[in-house]
Amino acid sequence: MSNFNIAVLDGDGIGPEVIAEAIKVLDVIGEKFNHRFNYTYAPVGAVAIDQTGNPLPDETLQLCKQSDALLFGAIGHPRFDNDPSAKVRPEQGLLKLRKELGLYANLRPVAGYDELVDLSPLRPERIRGVDMLIVRELTGGIYFGEKGRKDDGNTAYDTCTYTRLEIERIVRMGFNEARARRGKLTLVDKANVMETSRLWREITRELAKENEDVELNFMFVDNAAMQLILNPAQFDVIVTSNMFGDILSDASSVLAGSLGLLPSSSVGSTVGMFEPIHGSWPEGAGQDRANPVAAILSAGMMLDHLELREEANALRMAVNRTLAQGVGTEDLRPTEQLGTRAFGDRIAAAV
Strand, helix or coil for residue 154: coil
Active site residue 143: yes
Catalytic residue from among 10, 236, 246, 331: 246
As a whole number of angstroms, the distance between CA 296 and CA 65 comes to 23
Judge whether 68 counts as a catalytic residue: no
Residue numbers in the known binding site are 98, 108, 136, 222, 246, 250
Active site residue 246: yes
Residue ranges for the known binding site for Mg(2+) are 222, 246, 250
Active-site option among 250, 288, 304, 345: 250
Among 104, 113, 143, 162, the one annotated catalytic: 143
| 197-205 own/partner pairs: CB under 8 Å, 24+ apart | 197/241, 199/162, 199/164, 199/167, 200/162, 200/167, 200/171, 200/241, 203/164, 203/167, 203/168, 203/171, 204/167, 204/171, 204/239
- Comparing CA positions, the residue from 175, 178, 301, 190 lying closest to residue 241 is 190
- Residues in the chain, overall count: 351
Contacts of 115 (CB under 8 A, 6+ apart): 323, 324, 326
- 250 counts as catalytic: yes
* CA angle in degrees (0–180, nearest 5) for 142-91-193: 15
Q: What 3 state SS string does 282-307 have?
A: HHHCCCCCCCCHHHHHHHHHHHHHCC
Which residues does the annotation mark as catalytic? 143, 190, 222, 246, 250
